[in-house]
Structures are given as C-alpha cells and as structure tokens.
Structure 1
Amino acid sequence: MVEKLIAFSLRNRFLVLLIATAIFIWGIYSIKTSKIDAIPDLSENQVIVFTEWMGRSPQIIEDQVTYPLVTNLQGIPKVKYVRANSMFGMSFIYLIFDDDTDIYWARSRVLERLSSIGNVLPQGVAPTMGPDGTGVGHVLWYTLDAPGVDLGEQRALQDWYIKFALQNVEGVSEIASFGGFQKQYQISVDPNKLSYYKLTISDIMRAVNANNNEAGGRKFEMSDIGYIIKTTGYLQSIDQIENLSVKTNNSIPVRIRDIGTVQMADESRLGIFDYNGEGETVGGIAVLRYGENADQVIQRVKAKMEEVSKGLPKGVKFNIVYDRGELIEESVSSIKNTLIEEMIVVSIIVIVFLFHWRSAISIIIQIPITIAASFIVLNFFDISSNIMSLTGIALAIGVIVDNGIIMAENSYKHLAVRQDELNRQQKGGEHV
C-alpha cells in the first residue's frame, strides 16, 4: 500500500504539490479562525440550578428545596449524575451531562423539567438556571476606580448601567457584580406596637405590596381628544412608605410610622471585596459563553468598556484586575517563538547532516504544511489553540523531521545500491 502510494505520488508530482498547497492554504485559514485561549477547557458539561430562599437554615433549604428539586430533576436524558449543595438561604444543584451533549439542548431539558415541578416547592420560591458559562469562563475582572463616590452609589452604577451595557457584548454569558452595598428600603417594626394595634408582619407586607403598584383604567375621550386614565402608585420615598395605612381603628388610620421606622439602608452582606488592602471596591466579572473564542470576547468587552466609560460620572473609570487576554497573548507568543526557533534549528541541522539542499528543502517544507494541517484537525474537533495543544504541536516537529530524514536517507541508500549495480554491470560489459 505504501509502495503504491509513493509510486502514485512520483508519477503525479503536480497533483501532489497542488494538494499540499490546498492543505496549506486551508491550514492558514484555520489558524486565523481558530479559537484562542490560554488554558484548555476541561470542565464538565453541566447545568446549574440556583434557588434562593433567604433567612432559612441549611437544613430547611435541604429538606424543602434541594431534596424535592434533586428528586424531580433526576431522570433527565443524558444526565450522568446530579450534585447538590445547601447553604444558608441558597440551594445549588449541578446536573452533569454526557460530554457529547449539546449544552443548549441540556438547558432546554432542565427548563422543561423545572416548569413541570409545580407546587413541590414552598410558596414564593422559584428556581433559576445559572449562566451558560464554562468552569473556566471568568475571562476578565474589573473594579471601579471612583474616588469620592460611596460604595452604594458605585454598586448602583454597576448594576443599573455598566452591567446592562457589557452583557450585550457578543460571547458574554453574564456580568456578575460584586462588592459594595445594594440599597433598599427597610422597615424596622416595634413588636410592642404590633401587639398594641393587633397587627402582624404579614399585614405590613400586604399593605406595602398593595400600595406599591400601578393600575390602568380605560381611554376617556372628550372634545375629540383621547385621555389614558391610570394611577401611579409606586413608592418613591421614605415619607410615602411611612404614611401608608395598615389598618383603621375607629376611623383613625394606623400608619407604618406609628408602629416602626423606615430608613434607606443596605442589604445584608455575607462578605466584602477588598482590593490590594486599600479598602472595599465594586466591580464585575465577565463570564465567557460556551464555545466562544476567549481572545475575541475579551477584545469586544474592552472595546465596550471604552464606550461605556464616556457615560460614567466624572472621575469614575475602569480598573482591570484580571485579564486573561494578557495570559493568552504571552502563552501564544511563547509557543510561536518556540515553533519558529525549532523550525530554524531543525532546518540548519538537516542541511548540515544531509548536505544536500534539495533533500533539506523537501524536509523543511513538511514543517509548515504539517503545522497548518494540524489546525484543520483542531478546528474540526472544536479544540482551542491553547498552551497545551500548541505545545503538542511543538513537540511533534521532531517526529515530522525524523520521518523526513529517515525517508531521505533510505532513498539515498537505495539509489547508492542501484548505482553500484549499474557500475558493476558497466565494468563487466567492458571486460567482456
């Protein structure tokens, strides 16, 4: 088989060169379109289901949230196993799918099962799916450099302006906010006054919910002009909350200010984010979506950050804390330099040892063609160009050259033997 292939190649040299040129051009195109990352993504094919029920102990979360969800999510097609974790006020369930499962098909199956759970969970508890990001999807971390701006204002700026803008970047699964304070209205109730007025916490919650809403009416026409009737009832200040009526005693309204105090405060926190020991700060994490090119996504996020910076308050700017793009550039640059150095060294060695420029060129040409063809295979199997795959290519150069040298030396040997036979035949003929 090998002899026939060699014989065919010798008889059709132009066709072989044409195929090699086509493979090389295709390989160059594959190199330009190859996904670039610093590290290979070896994370499992998983879907995360997150459920929040604040104020409950881990045991209650386990019994009333985690266990019902796990029992109902088991049995989904192509699921290898299900992991679960319960903590204070939160439940995490990890569904690990087979490696060949499409992640979005898996997410649709999980969403379908969640929609059919019904009344298994406590009232008001709604499970949600995590972002469609990988385990190594944290490609960029940033903080806000905002001197003179309090942490609450920084977190509001991050949650209501920056996050929405960066989430629209192609390839970004989520912008996860961290640090600072999340502002909220808090009602501190005096239990003695609750008992005096014969009220409960539920009464106060119903009063706030009923008065924090809008209601629409109908269209009213007068003098050929149409008027839309509606009521504006959203709460917008502390005074409005304090003046809400909870109940009426003998035609006298009992307001929230009569049974407690209202203040603008911060949501309870379980931790802080400190930057270089200089104090707390606010920022976000850009999470990469499955199957995206990390290098291109990072560049898009940076470009979007420059655009968003124009709308930030004076003195506020981005401070990039972690940028995998730099690691990608350093890793790929290091491997590229190694490949070039290897090609040069190998070419010199081949020329010195064979001392025949045509043989040396035939071996040296194999190196770029083989490297380009390897990227075709990488793209076919959806493998990114990372430090592991590129290192494997660098190590394979020696094998490529060894094969060429062995074939060249074997050809020389057979040619030398054939030449000796011809010489002996000529000498024998002259002697006769």
Structure 2
Amino acid sequence: MVEKLIAFSMRNRFLVLLFAAGVFAYGIYSVKTSKIDAIPDLSENQVIVLTEWMGRSPQIIEDQVTYPLVTNLQGLPRVKYVRANSMFGMSFVYVIFDDDVDVYWARTRVLERLSSIGNSLPEGVVPAMGPDGTGVGHILWYTLDAPGMDLGEQRAVQDWYIKFALQNVAGVSEIASFGGFQKQYQITIDPNKLSYYKLSVQDVMRTVNANNNEAGGRKFEMSDVGYIIKTTGYLKSMEEIGSLAVKTQNSIPVRIRDVATVQMSGESRLGIFDYNGEGEAVGGIVVLRYGENADEVIKNVKAKMIEVSKGLPEGVKFNIVYDRGELIEESISSITTTLIEEMIVVTIIVIVFLFHWRSAVSIVIQIPITIAASFIILNAFDISSNIMSLTGIALAIGVIVDNGIIMSENAYKHLAVRQAELGELRKKGDTHVE
C-alpha cells in the first residue's frame, strides 16, 4: 500500500503539491478561526441548580430543599452522579452528565425535571439553573474606582447599569456582581409593641404585601379620547411604609410605624470583597458561555466597557483586577516564539548535516504544512488553541523532522545502491543498461 502511494505521488507531483498547498491554505484559515484560551477546559460536564430560601438554617435547607431535589434529579438519563451542598439560606445541586452529552441537551433535561417537582418544595421556593458556563469560565474580574461614592450607590450602578450592558456582549453567560450593599427597606419590629396591640409578624407581612401592588381598571372614553384607569400602589418611600395601617382599634388605625421602625439599609452579607487591603470594592465577574472563544469575548467585553464608561457618573471608571486575556497573549506569544525558534534551528541543522538544499527544503517544508494541518484537526474536534495543545505541537516538530530525514536517507541509500549496480553493469558491457 505504501509503495503504491509513493509511486502515485512520484508520478503525480503536481497533484501532490496542489493538495499540500490546499492543506496549508486551509490550515492558515483554521489558525485564524481557532478558539484561543490560556488553559484547556477540563471541567466536568455539569448543570448547577441554585435554590434560595433566605433565613433558613443549613439543616432545614438540606432536609426540605436539597434532599428532594437530589432524589428527583438522580433519575435523569446520561447522569453520572449528583452532588449537593447546603448552606445558610441557599442550596446548590451539581448534576454531572457523561462527557459526550451536549450541555444544552443536559440543561433541557434538568429544566424539564425541575418543572415537575415544585410540589415537593416549600411554598415560595423556586429552584433555578446556574449560568451555562464552566468551571474555568471566569475570564475577567473588575472593580469600580469610584471615589466619593458609597458602596450602596456603587452596587446600584453595577446591578442596574453595568451588568445589563455587559451581558449583551456575545459569548457572555453571566455578569456576577460582588461587594457593596444591596439597598433595601428594613422593618424592625418591636415585639413589646406587637404584643400590646395584639398583632403578629404575619399581620405586618400581609399588610406590606397587600399594599405594595397595583391594580388595573378599564378604558374610559371622554370626548373621543381614551383614558386607561389604574391604581398606583407600589411603595416608594419609608414614610409610605410606616403609614400603612395594620388594623383598626376603636376607630383608630394601628400603623406600621406604631409597632416597628422603617429604615433604608443594606442586605445582610456573609462576606466582603477587599481589594489589596485598601478597603471594600464593588465589581463583577464576567463568566464565559460554554464553547465560546475566550480571547474574542474578552476583547469584545473590553470594547463594551469603553462604551459603558461614557454613561457612568463623573469620576467612576473600571479597574480590571484579573484579565485572562493577558495570560492568553503571553502564552500564545511564548509558544509562537518557541515554534519559530525551533523551525529556524531545525532548518539550519538539516541544511548543515544533509548539505543538499533540495533535500533540506523537502524536509523543512513539512514543518509549516504539518503545523497548519494540526489546527484543522483541533478545529474539527473543537479543541481550543491553549498552552497545552500548542506545546504538544512544538514537541512534535522533532518527530516531523525525523520522519523527513529518515525518508531522505532511505532514498539516498537506494539511489546509491542503484547507481552502483548500474555502474557494474556498464563495466561488464551490458548494452541494455539505461
């Protein structure tokens, strides 16, 4: 088979050169379109189910939320195992699928199962799936440099402006906010006053829920003009909350401010984000969507940040604290430099030892063609160009050159033997020798 292939190549040199040129051109295109990342994604094929039930202890979360979810999700097809973690007010369930399962197929199966287990959970508890990212999806971390702005205002800018803008970038799965205070109205109930007026905490909660709502009316026409009638009932200030009547005693309303104190404060936190020991900071984490090009997404996010900066309050700017793009550039630059140096060194050694330019060219030309063809295979198997795959290509250059040298030496040996045989026949006067 090999002999026939060699014979065919020798008889059709133009076709072989044309095929090699086509492979090289397609390889160059594959290099330009290859996904670039610093490290390979070796994370498990998983779907995360997050459930919040604030104010409950880890044991209650484990018994009433985590256990029902785990037992129901274990029966999904192509699932290897299910892991779970319960903490204060939150439950995390990790559904690990087989490696060859499409991640979006897996998310669909989990979503179907979640829609059917709502009755197994406490009232008001709704599980949700995590972002369609991976364990190495954190590609960019940033904080806000906002002198003179308190942490609550910074977090509001992050949650209601920056987050929504950056999430629109193609390839971004989620912008996870961290740090600062999430502003909220807090009602601090005095138990003595509550007992005096013979009220309960549930009475106060029902009052707030019932009065923080809007109701629609109907369309009213007057003078050929249509008006939409509705009631505006959303609470907009601490004074409005304090003025809500919980009940009426002897024709006198008992208001929330009579039994509680209403104030604006931040949501309870389980930790803080400190930046270089300089104090607390507010920022976000850019999570890469599964299967996207990390290098391209990082560049698009940075371009979007420049656009978003124009709408930030005066003096507020981005401070990038972790950028995988720099690691990608350094890794690719290092590997590229190594490849070029190896190609130059190998070319010099081959020319010096063979001392025959045609043989040297035939060997050296295999290096760029083989490297270009390697990227075709990488793209075909959806493998990113990272430090591991590029290092493997660099190490394989020696094997590529060895193959060419062995073939050249073998050809020279057979040609020399053939020339010697022809010389002997000529000396003997064989007239049929050509």
Q: Structure 1, residues 346-401: CA drift from partner, whole Å, max 9, x if none?
A: 00000000000000000011000000000000000000000000000000000000
Matched position secondary structure for 1:349: helix
Separation (CA, whole Å) in 1 of partners of 2:270 and 2:106 = 32
Q: Which residue of 2 aligns with 1:52?
A: 52
Q: Which residue of 2 aligns with 1:133?
A: 133
Q: Structure 1, residues 43-75: CA drift from partner, whole Å, max 9, x if none?
A: 000000011111111111111000001111111
Q: Give yes or no for the alignment of 1:15 onto 2:20.
A: no
Separation (CA, whole Å) in 2 of partners of 1:186 and 1:166 = 30
Q: Which residue of 2 aligns with 1:424?
A: 424
Q: Give yes or no for the alignment of 1:217 onto 2:217.
A: yes
Q: Which residue of 1 aligns with 2:4?
A: 4
The amino acid of 1:182's aligned partner reads Q
Separation (CA, whole Å) in 2 of partners of 1:59 and 1:152 = 32
Question: How far apart are 1:250 and its partner, in Å?
Answer: 1.6
Matched position secondary structure for 2:285: strand
CA RMSD of aligned residues (A): 0.9
Question: How far apart are 1:157 and its partner, in Å?
Answer: 0.4
Matched position secondary structure for 1:177: strand
Question: How far apart are 1:251 and its partner, in Å?
Answer: 1.5
Q: Which residue of 1 aligns with 2:388?
A: 388
The amino acid of 2:109's aligned partner reads R
Separation (CA, whole Å) in 2 of partners of 1:64 and 1:110 = 19
Q: Give yes or no for the alignment of 1:190 onto 2:190.
A: yes
8 Å contact kept, 2:41–2:136:
yes
Question: How far apart are 1:118 and its partner, in Å?
Answer: 2.8
Matched position secondary structure for 1:135: coil
Gaps of 5+ in 1: none
Matched position secondary structure for 1:429: coil
Matched position secondary structure for 2:272: coil
The amino acid of 2:22's aligned partner reads A
Q: Which residue of 2 aligns with 1:269?
A: 269
Matched position secondary structure for 1:131: coil
Q: Which residue of 1 aligns with 2:258?
A: 258
Matched position secondary structure for 2:428: helix
Q: Which residue of 1 aligns with 2:408?
A: 408
Matched position secondary structure for 1:84: strand
User: Identity over the aligned pairs, expressed in percent?
Assistant: 84
The amino acid of 1:230's aligned partner reads K
Question: How far apart are 1:135 and its partner, in Å?
Answer: 0.4
Question: How far apart are 1:430 and its partner, in Å?
Answer: 8.5
Q: Structure 1, residues 99-156: CA drift from partner, whole Å, max 9, x if none?
A: 1111111101100000001310011111110000010000000000000000000000
Matched position secondary structure for 1:273: coil
Q: How does 1:18-29 map to 2 (within 5 A)?
A: 18-29=18-29
Comparing 246-255 with 35-44, which one deviates more in the overlay? 246-255
Separation (CA, whole Å) in 1 of partners of 2:203 and 2:430 = 124
Separation (CA, whole Å) in 1 of partners of 2:241 and 2:284 = 32
Q: Which residue of 2 aligns with 1:234?
A: 234
Q: Which residue of 2 aligns with 1:369?
A: 369
Q: Give yes or no for the alignment of 1:334 onto 2:334.
A: yes
Matched position secondary structure for 1:229: strand
Q: Give yes or no for the alignment of 1:65 onto 2:65.
A: yes
8 Å contact kept, 2:208–2:241:
yes
Question: How far apart are 1:339 and its partner, in Å?
Answer: 0.4
Separation (CA, whole Å) in 2 of partners of 1:105 and 1:52 = 25
Q: How does 1:150-169 map to 2 (within 5 A)?
A: 150-169=150-169
Q: Which residue of 1 aligns with 2:77?
A: 77
Gaps of 5+ in 2: none
TM-score (norm 2): 0.98
Separation (CA, whole Å) in 1 of partners of 2:250 and 2:188 = 25
Query: After the TM superposition, which segments of 4 or more aligned residues of structure 1 sit over 4 Å from their partners?
Result: none
Q: Structure 1, residues 176-233: CA drift from partner, whole Å, max 9, x if none?
A: 0000011100001110111111111111111001111111100011111111100111
Separation (CA, whole Å) in 1 of partners of 2:87 and 2:239 = 37
8 Å contact kept, 2:118–2:126:
no
Question: How far apart are 1:426 and its partner, in Å?
Answer: 1.2
Separation (CA, whole Å) in 1 of partners of 2:254 and 2:214 = 23
Separation (CA, whole Å) in 2 of partners of 1:284 and 1:189 = 34
TM-score (norm 1): 0.99
